[in-house]
Amino acid sequence: MVVGSQAREVDLVVIGSGPGGYVAAIRAAELGRKVVIVERDYIGGVCLNVGCIPSKALINAGHKYHEQVHDLDTVMGVHSKGATLNWEETLKWKDEKVVKTLTGGVGMLLKKNKVEILRGEARFNDNQVLNVIDGDESHLLEFKSCIIATGSRPIEIPGFKFEGRVVNSTGALSLPEVPKHLVIIGGGVIGSELAGAYASLGAKVTILEGLPHILNGFDDEMIKVAVEEFKEYGIDIVTNARAKGSEQTADSVKVTYEVDGKEEVIEADYCLVSVGRRPNTDSIGLNNTDVKVNERGIIEVDNRQETSVSGIYAIGDIVPGPMLAHKASYEAKIAAANAAGEDELNCAVAIPAVAYCNPELATIGETPDSAKEKGIDVIVSKFPFAANGRAITMNATRGFVRLLTDKASHVVVGAQIAGPGASDLISEFALAIENGLTSEDISMTIHPHPTLGEAIMDTSELADGLPIHI
């Protein structure tokens, strides 16, 4: 039944409560708008519940376990024989201590900012009215502004229906046991991260990648660092492989794939399919609006995050650009400001990307290859973690920091980090690029000692032509 005979008028409706949606709702509320946020599943969206956060929890648990079983005993003289893994306790910690803490926090923030949470599936009736369906009830909302933040979902491929022992990234985070053998179709960021996590937890892992290399989007030098570590973990990588089908039994799954024209079959406990994600724009009634959507389901927006319909904005995985939570959160602030009557433009210079392998990979801005393609004359400076005091004390010397600066002005235009703490360290380069800083601005900033951050300073000194530690 429809609750109320007429549509209820609201200032702003936000569809979706992930890293884009909840940030947009809170920012718009801070700017004086009365906000309704519509969520069909869990507050926090994919990222907090079944994506970024729980996956990093498992990755960290895996590193801790692997360190106890292997690394400490052989390197630092810390003998920890007898370390065991209680998988049930690990999953409980992930779900109750990590996920619930963060999603509960988001719920409290929404409440604090007086954002109304409306449960149900949102569907546009037209350019101004939204129908929110929750079971047998529906709510009509006539909005002044709307921000679409519906995110994305894993792509399912022929022959690999998500059921039983064939899982997507969501299912892979809650397997009933650590597999003896896990086959992963797709060696992108998600596939590679979970490969490292389960290998460190004791699983035999095989990656089937359709491209000539894993971790597409990172350059060869960075991929090499990850592959070296994967080999030490016993991870098998099969490239140029085309997955063809799967056959399940009560306790295993057989995966058929083709490589070099030859058909192969591999048997495992589980098969994770991680070949990309699809925007959630096909079931929200956009066909009832004048919002322009391309053939891939991506919504067209301008630099205010506004769609082809005035007052309707879109952010995150459903608009052009990489599908990254931090990109969605940035776009959320732009959209919220404009929905609140301000004039804010998306003028981000570069977006950092991270792969939580071991060691981590992080990149922002130009790479040597992209600079060459664009005709940008750059200085490329590279400093190894093997020359960093803090990395040595951590027994984490694999990898490097690489900096690209404009040859004439020394302005930072790009950076890559493969090594310990890369996900945290890349932010210094993000700040530099956004603010047009030079290598000297970084090298003459006092960095605490001993820290991994000194590797950024040392790389900048290399760019200046005045290196101290190499």
Known binding residue 465? Answer is no
Q: Which runs of consecutive H residues, i.e. helices, occur in 16-84? A: 21-30, 45-50, 52-66, 72-75
288: which DSSP letter?
A: G
Known binding residue 321? Answer is no
Contact 33, 12 (CB under 8 A): yes
Chain centroid, CA 176 distance in Å: 24
Write 221-224 long-range contacts (CB < 8 A, 24+).
221/400, 221/402, 221/416, 221/418, 222/361, 222/363, 222/416, 222/418
- Nearest in space to 363 (alpha carbons), one of 308, 323, 413: 413
Instruction: Please provide the distance, in angstroms rounded to a whole number, between the alpha carbons at the two ends of the chain.
Output: 72
Known binding residue 324? Answer is yes
Q: Which of 63, 213, 449, 469 is catalytic?
A: 449
Neighbouring CB atoms inside 10 A of 132's CB total 22
Known binding residue 189? Answer is yes
261: which DSSP letter?
A: T
Known binding residue 151? Answer is yes
Known binding residue 126? Answer is no
Known binding residue 157? Answer is no
Q: Which runs of consecutive H residues, i.e. helices, occur in 156-310? A: 169-172, 189-200, 220-232
Instruction: Give the span between the Cα atoms of 407 and 308, in whole angstroms.
Output: 41
Strands 253-259 and 262-268: antiparallel
Known binding residue 222? Answer is no
Known binding residue 209? Answer is yes
- Nearest in space to 311 (alpha carbons), one of 151, 150, 147, 149: 147
Known binding residue 326? Answer is yes
- Nearest in space to 149 (alpha carbons), one of 360, 312, 285, 380: 312
Query: Exposed (0-12), middle (13-18) or buried (19+): which is 32, by Cβ within 10 Å?
Result: exposed
Is 449 an active-site residue?
Answer: yes
311: which DSSP letter?
A: T
Chain centroid, CA 130 distance in Å: 29
Known binding residue 192? Answer is yes
Known binding residue 314? Answer is no
Strand partners, 295: none
Contact 461, 386 (CB under 8 A): no
Buried b (16+ CB within 10 A) or exposed e, 365-387: bbbbeebeeeeeebbbbebbbeb
Cβ-based neighbours of 80, under 8 Å, separated by 6 or more: 68, 69, 72, 73
Instruction: Give the span between the Cα atoms of 116 and 118, in whole angstroms.
Output: 6
Known binding residue 193? Answer is yes
Known binding residue 245? Answer is no
Known binding residue 323? Answer is yes
Enumerate the active-site residues: 449
Binding residues for FAD: 56, 150-152, 317, 323-326
Binding residues: 56, 150-152, 186-193, 209, 276, 317, 323-326
Binding residues for NAD(+): 186-193, 209, 276
